[in-house]
Structure formats: C-alpha cells, structure tokens
Amino acid sequence: MMSENVAVIGVGHSKFGTRKDVNIAELCWESMKPAFESANLEPKDIEFFVVSNAGMWSSEAAVPALMAEYADLAPKGSMRVEAACASGSAAVRVGYTAVKSGMADIVLVLGVEKMQESPNPNVIELIGRFGSYFWEFENFGLTFPAYYALHGTAYMMKYGATEEDYAKVAVKNHYYGAKNPYAQFQREIDVETVMKSPYVAWPFKLFDCSPITDGSACIILASEEKVKELGIDEKIWILGQGVGTGTANLSRREEFSSLASATYAAEQAYKMAGIDIDDPTKYLDGANVHDCFTAPEIIAYEDLRFCKRGEGYKLIREEQTYIGGKIPVNVDGGLKAKGHPIGATGVSQAVEAYKQLLQKAEPGRQADINKGRWLAHNVGGTGHYSYVTIYGLEKR
C-alpha cells in the first residue's frame, strides 16, 4: 500500500576526513550503528537498502553486497546509486520512492566514499569525468576547480562580487565546522588566511575549495503506517524533493552565474512542499547548500531564491547566513569544512536536517527552530545533476 508520507526515523554519521584507520565496511558501520540505535531497529528490520557511492577511487566496488555481509543485511534487496556529487540525494530519492510506492516500509540509505585510497592527481582526474570528459577535460584540461571557476568569475563580472566575498563563505563555514565534531576541518580561519593561500584556479584559492574526504552517513526511512506502528516520537518528514539535470557540455549553457538545474529542482521542491517560491526563507529555519567551492554557495542563495539575483554576495557580506541572520546556511561546516566524501554528502545533509529540526545539533551551531523546515541542496558535477529536498517536523 502506498504511504501518504515518508519519515526519517534514524540517523548516523562517521567522522569525516582522512580515514586510513578503517576499511570501507568499518567506515560504513560507523554511521550505520548509530542510525539503527536512534531508530531502535536492527539490521533484520530493514526491507531494502540503498548505497550511494561513486567509488572510482576506492578498491571496493560492490559496496551493497559488502555491507549485506558485514552488517547482516543479506538477502534483503539493495541498489547502488551514482549521480556524481549528488549521489547521496539520489539515494535518498530512491529510498523515498521505495517507501512512498509501498514496495517497502523500512529502508536504509547509506552514503560512503573512501577517496583517500587514490593519490590526489588520480582523484582530480576522475572528478574531471563528472562533465563532458572527452571535450572539456581531454581537449582543454579542465579540472573540477576550473569548472566552477568559470562560474565564479562569471558571477564576479556580472554582479561585482569580489574574492573577499568568496573568502567570507569559507570563514563562515570553518567557524561552524570548528563546532562540529564530525567535520574534517575543525578550526576557524579569517579572510586574510583565505586570501594568502595559493591559487588553485582563479578566483579560487586553496581555502576556497572543499577537501578530498573519506566518510559515511546513514539514514533510515519509514512509511507513515510504520511510524505509527513503532510509536516513533523523534522523526522528520520528507516534504518535497525536486530534481534537475544540466547539459554535459558547459558550452551548451546560456548562463554561468546560475545553475539552471538547481533552479528547476528548487521550484519542484517548493511546489511539492507547499512553500511560496517567491519568499521561501519565510518557511525555512535553515539550509545546507552544495559549497564544493565558495562561489557556488553564493550562487545557490540565488538559485534557491533566498534573495534576488545579483544579491547573494550581500548575504554573506552582511552575515545573513549565520545563525541569527535571514537564513542560516551550512552551520555544520558545509562541504568546505565538514568535508565532501562524494557519495556521503547528500545523506550527510539529511542527517543535519534531522539534527537541526530536532534540536540535537552541537552547542554553538544549533539554529533557532521556529518554522519546522530545513532545506538540502545537493549538486552533482557543475549542475549536471541537482537535487533540492525539503525536510519538516510536521507531515504535509
């Protein structure tokens, strides 16, 4: 039977960073164990599980089968999902769809990446495949920082943003990352530190870029009927999700100061969740956006309509995306400071929504929860895939 609504009833999160102390199965279990504990469930209760894993840089490819063995999930059904850096949200969508359709009542969604198994040059080359590889990477040598640098420079030229504005995004996200025990970088920085760091792809310097990360995150989804049956008190609901796709080749795009796929996904998500697209900040307590570099966070403010076009950099200048501002953004450190294990990122955003809405975030980074809704914006490639998900304390 189809489920009217789908809830997140358990979450878990590993420490992000360079995790050479564990193998990939142990890294997965680091987030799966607390997810089971918070949902008060055991592996035998899972009816279907989805694993988000790009996995090109790590030795293990059949991660669902590996975890079926390691976590005693066999012979339950599984699926591996890949959508570049948006893989985690794609996995959430698969899990949500399985529950919503009535195919399963309890679904586990796991995101994991062990990127440090490969040397940095290999990782950089492999990430370059998240686009039109033979045209852009082979012909022009575009690396992933360069892909987004095209957008960062376009935004600067069109609206007058500066490198210092981008630096302020890094400062904010490190400020909150320092308060997140699961973050890869747990130290604050200042604008001067960002500005003095070496260039990677102008206008991005080292501190404008998210790191190469190992990590896992896990959520457990349940149908509305199962929530009632289990008497689950602590849960959040998936209120809406939008998905957009961009062209592989950037030369086919008309606009570089925005991601059309993200704008499209946001419109879908807001409509599904019953949020006024003209002023969504009135409905949201906060957001996680895909800050693989600093400029994309500012662009996301506009694609998500947190402000008017061309005014995103003003939000960070005026500290309006800190707690206490117009809308807190990336108060877990974001990809920039928390880290960006490709397959785990979207699931990590779901974990953060759960923690924030249930007021379980660590001291100093807990947002004020008045409206009961949190947004997650997860982008694969350079807008090649975009997912926007709305989570809420109350069901639709």
Question: What is the rounded CA–CA span in Å between residue 37 and residue 3?
Answer: 24
Residue of 13, 290, 340, 377 with catalytic role: 340
Question: 382 and 259 in contact (C-beta within 8 Å)?
Answer: yes
Residue 139: predicted pLDDT: 65
132 pLDDT above the threshold of 80: no
Q: Is 85 a catalytic residue?
A: yes
141 pLDDT above the threshold of 80: no
DSSP structural state of residue 289: -
Q: Name the more confident of 144 and 69.
A: 69
- 247-281 pLDDT tens trace: 988 888 989 999 999 999 999 999 999 999 999 99
Helices (H) and strands (E) counted in the chain, each on its own, are 14, 11
Residue 41: predicted pLDDT: 98
Residue 142: predicted pLDDT: 77
160 CB-side CA count, 13 A: 5
395 pLDDT above the threshold of 80: yes
Burial class from Cβ neighbours inside 10 Å (0-12, 13-18, 19+) for residue 103 reads middle
Question: What is the rounded CA–CA span in Å between residue 257 and residue 150?
Answer: 9
Q: Which of 68-82, 136-150, 231-245, 310-324 has the lowest mean pLDDT?
A: 136-150
- 151-199 pLDDT tens trace: 999 999 999 999 999 999 999 999 999 999 999 999 999 999 999 999 9
| SS3 at position 238 | strand
φ, ψ at 63 (rounded to 5°): -65, -40
Collect all residues with Cβ–Cβ distance below 8 Å to 139 and sequence separation of at least 6. none
46 pLDDT above the threshold of 70: yes
Burial 163-180 (b: 16+ CB within 10 A, else e): bebbbbbbbbbbbbbbbb
Query: How many residues are listed for the chain in this entry?
Result: 396
Average per-residue pLDDT for the chain: 95
Give the confidence band of 89 by pLDDT, cuts at 50, 70, 90.
very high
Residue of 13, 28, 85, 292 with catalytic role: 85
- Percent of the chain at pLDDT exceeding 90: 87
> What are the structural domains, with CATH classification, of the chain?
6-118+212-230 (3.40.47.10)
Residue 130: predicted pLDDT: 77
129 pLDDT above the threshold of 80: no
How remote is the C-alpha of 231 from its chain's centroid?
Answer: 29
Which of 69, 96, 70 lies closest to 81, judged by CA?
A: 96
344 pLDDT above the threshold of 80: yes
Residue 250: predicted pLDDT: 85
Strand partners, 373: 392
- Percent of the chain at pLDDT exceeding 70: 98
- 277-308 pLDDT tens trace: 999 999 999 999 999 999 999 999 999 999 99
How remote is the C-alpha of 250 from its chain's centroid?
Answer: 22
| SS3 at position 375 | strand
Q: Is 340 a catalytic residue?
A: yes
* Residue 131, amino acid: G
